[in-house]
Copies of this chain bind each other. A is one copy, B any other.
Amino acid sequence: MEEDFSPWFRRMLSENELVDDRYDVKGMLVYRGNGMKIIKNMVSHLERLLEEDGHEPTLFPILIPETLLEKEKDHIAGFEEQVYWVTHAGKTPLDRKLALRPTSETIMYPMFALWVRTFQDLFIKVHQTCTVYRYETKQTRPLIRSREFYWNEGHTAFAKREELLENLNKVEEIYVDLISGLCCVPVQVNRRPEWDKFPGAEYTTAFETIMPDGKTLQVATIHNLGQHFSKVFNIVYDDEEGEKHHCYQSSYGPGFGRLLAAVVAVHGDEKGMIIPPMLAPTQAVIVPVVFKDKDKQEILEYVDKIAAKLKGEGIRHIVDAGDERPGAKYYKWERLGVPLRIEAGPRDLGEGKVVLVRRDTGEKSYAKLCELDVGEILDEIQDNLRKEAGDKFGRRLYTADTLVDLDEKLGEGVVTVGWCEADECAKSLDERGTILTILDQADECIVCGKKGKQIRIAKTY
């Protein structure tokens, strides 16, 4: 699968009915039931964490008048090639064109300006789960690069810079909880180089994982916007002394499509997907194993008993009592990544036992029904998936001493090398991969040997 990641990945998406890319608008994906159920679990986990931290749920409009989108100069420069424009309503030309949001800073911040008068109106922390639109000119790929993508975006305004910095730390924690805690996807947090930051930001922090083909995938970003937007949108508060100040702001968002791609890719194997239990729409499947018709009724009753126990413990489960052979059922549920399979046949029934098969390790074990603790097993699977993925991730972090060495390791993962910060040497690096971040650590330039800093470089999606 690592050899041939791309066809394997496409097969996962279609065989498991996660998404369908055959809709007749390029780069616009249909999320089907099995994909959307996983995403809904991501959304509710994230929204809960954000709301516990004081973010208010909101929904802002999708359309942006050109005048608003243009206000922040760097911002419009970054997006002007990428926005879809609405120009007509019915047969009537609109008197000004309206952009489909590529992100919502320029929609939200004029409203923030209306809501903020004094320090008592601060802080503002809002979030919304919605779709945004970017006319990508690069090749689109299902879940990985779309022209419509489904995300959650958070936006803030604070009185003090320190409060903003505290917020940035907290959101980083929340995103790590979502990505690594819930989804068991390991990430590296990289502050992007100046030339690669979000248009209008002071700096951008990105979360990236490494896919089985060695390319990195950015799954979330956090932007320190400083006072760039509050100055152009006039988000001003009076302090205790009645003095006016501009707010400090941040915006951030993880993409659910990319996160789903990462879950499928990072945990999957040749049998199919493996969905971490906390994230899985179905955490356990119960399969009655019937050899003789005369046993059927009794086994089905036993299976009902198992199901009742799981229900009582709040385990999301399915009983697969269909007519297929057990083997065909095992195959299907393994492909779909259900973390735990519980089998019950005539002998198990007699002994008051069940057979347990873990999707992550393939390990088969037995348990007395009265002693069965599915929650505990699911926790173990969750922890094991996180650990396994973390170990794999760790093995994909390299250093290189020569350009030949670098070339070999790029495409395997993230490589740390030195760079002198000169444009000419950057050109040589750019041909090979993408500079993810510049670290503080001193190092010799891998191209020219002069003094410089450590950087992380990788091939990226």
Q: Does A330 contact B (CB under 8 A)?
A: no
Question: Smallest Cβ distance from A21 to chain B, in angstroms?
Answer: 10
Is the pair A111, B22 in contact by a Cβ cutoff of 8 Å?
Answer: yes
Q: A25-B98, A57-B36, A87-B87 are in contact. Are A111 and B30 (CB under 8 A)?
A: yes
Q: Does A110 contact B (CB under 8 A)?
A: yes
Q: Does A24 contact B (CB under 8 A)?
A: yes
Q: Which single member of B65, B82, B90, B98 contacts A82 (CB below 8 Å)?
A: B90
Q: Does A9 contact B (CB under 8 A)?
A: no
Which size bracket describes the interface of A in this complex? Answer: 35 or more
Q: Does A80 contact B (CB under 8 A)?
A: yes
* Chain B residues positioned under 8 Å from A111 (CB to CB): 20, 22-23, 30
Question: Smallest Cβ distance from A130 to chain B, in angstroms?
Answer: 8
Per the bound structure, the CA–CA distance linking A32 and B59 in Å amounts to: 7
* Chain B residues positioned under 8 Å from A63 (CB to CB): 25, 28, 84, 148
Per the bound structure, the CA–CA distance linking A252 and B31 in Å amounts to: 19
Q: Does A68 contact B (CB under 8 A)?
A: yes
Q: Does A291 contact B (CB under 8 A)?
A: no
Q: A90-B81, A90-B82, A90-B83 are in contact. Are A65 and B33 (CB under 8 A)?
A: no
Question: Smallest Cβ distance from A446 to chain B, in angstroms?
Answer: 36
Per the bound structure, the CA–CA distance linking A8 and B68 in Å amounts to: 32
Is the pair B33, A58 in contact by a Cβ cutoff of 8 Å?
Answer: yes
CB nearest to A115 among chain B residues: B20
CB nearest to A87 among chain B residues: B87
* Chain B residues positioned under 8 Å from A37 (CB to CB): 56-57
Q: Does A61 contact B (CB under 8 A)?
A: yes
Q: Which single member of B22, B31, B80, B90 contacts A135 (CB below 8 Å)?
A: B90
Interface residues of A in 53-71 (CB under 8 A from B): 56-65, 68
Q: Does A29 contact B (CB under 8 A)?
A: yes
Q: Chain A, 11-53, contact with B by CB distance < 8 Å: what is the 0/1 string? A: 0000000001011110011111100110110000000000000
CB nearest to A51 among chain B residues: B37
Question: Smallest Cβ distance from A440 to chain B, in angstroms?
Answer: 37
Interface residues of A in 227-267 (CB under 8 A from B): none
* Chain B residues positioned under 8 Å from A24 (CB to CB): 65, 68, 110
Listed residue (A25, A97, A133) with the most chain B CB atoms within 10 angstroms of its CB: A25
Q: Does A279 contact B (CB under 8 A)?
A: no
Q: Which single member of B61, B84, B97 contacts A30 (CB below 8 Å)?
A: B61
* Chain B residues positioned under 8 Å from A133 (CB to CB): 62
* Chain B residues positioned under 8 Å from A20 (CB to CB): 111, 114
Is the pair B148, A23 in contact by a Cβ cutoff of 8 Å?
Answer: no
Q: Does A88 contact B (CB under 8 A)?
A: yes
Is the pair B31, A58 in contact by a Cβ cutoff of 8 Å?
Answer: yes
Is the pair A33, B126 in contact by a Cβ cutoff of 8 Å?
Answer: yes
Per the bound structure, the CA–CA distance linking A57 and B19 in Å amounts to: 12
Q: Does A131 contact B (CB under 8 A)?
A: yes
Q: Does A119 contact B (CB under 8 A)?
A: no
Q: Chain A, 83-107, contact with B by CB distance < 8 Å: what is the 0/1 string? A: 1111111110000011010000001
* Chain B residues positioned under 8 Å from A30 (CB to CB): 58-61, 111
Is the pair A25, B148 in contact by a Cβ cutoff of 8 Å?
Answer: no
A sample of 14 more A-B contacts (CB under 8 A), given A59-B131, A62-B133, is: A30-B111, A33-B57, A36-B57, A37-B57, A59-B150, A61-B148, A62-B148, A63-B84, A81-B90, A82-B89, A82-B90, A83-B89, A84-B86, A85-B88
Which residues does A use to contact B, with CB under 8 Å? 20, 22-25, 28-33, 36-37, 39-40, 56-65, 68, 80-91, 97-98, 100, 107, 110-111, 114, 126, 130-131, 133, 135, 148, 150
